[in-house]
Amino acid sequence: MFERRDAFDGEEKLLKLISEDHFNDAKSKRIAPNKLQETFVAFANSDGGDLYIGIEDEKVETERLIDFVNEEEANEIIHHLLEGTDPSVENMEIEFIDFKSKGLVLHIIIPKSPAVHYCANGDCYIRVNARKSKIKGDRITQLAYSKGFYKYEQIAIKGAELNDYLKSENVLSYKNRIGTKLDTGVFFKKTEITC
């Protein structure tokens, strides 16, 4: 699951030039794991992206590549991302880019997820251009519908009872069109229609 590869020629320069946008972000290795988790969740809830850890902000005037000395130094961050999100993000890729004497940059490739993910504290984020945006309530529900995580047909209608639909003209018309003679209650159970 974790790979380690040598940096290619010119990769350090490219990483320092990363334009933080909808699909890319670079973070300091000193970032608080819960803050990093927000960006991670935002990528998974949106269109996916590449997260590089070990690169200081472009405003920093000293060396921007302040990497991990070894893989173990990144354990807390990786644990926080893998175990702290709910549900955990599947099919992501983790690699360490080896810059030899300068150390390792942690690169996480986060896929677009079919699920809605939350941080350990219960907050939900999406990626909007080059930033994360916290969403709540109806926005989370809309996100779940857009991902296909929730299906309108499977959401119970408050106050609806099965008896309200047993003699419905629409249901009887539908049963007639598909040619079933099943009792409406049995038909609902067999087709997994829930009320």
**What's the pLDDT score for residue 50?**
97
What is the rounded distance in angstroms from the CA atom of residue 75 to the CA atom of residue 84? 13
For 48-71, b where at least 16 C-beta lie within 10 A, e where not — what string?
bbebbbbbbeeeeeeebebbbeee
Assess whether pLDDT exceeds 50 at residue 130: yes
pLDDT score recorded for residue 184? 83
Out of 43-47, 69-73, 141-145, 150-154, the most confident range is: 43-47
Distance CA 126, CA 162 (A): 37
Rg (CA), the chain: 24
Least confident span in 32-36, 59-63, 117-121, 180-184: 59-63
Residue 42 in contact with residue 117, Cβ under 8 Å?
no
> How many C-beta atoms lie closer than 10 Å to residue 43's C-beta?
29
Give Cβ neighbours of residue 192 (< 8 Å, ≥ 6 apart): none
The CATH code of the domain at 2-135 is 3.30.950.30
pTM given for the model: 0.76
| Low-confidence winner among 39-43, 57-61, 111-115, 186-190 (lowest mean pLDDT) | 57-61
Domain with CATH 3.30.950.30 in the chain: 2-135
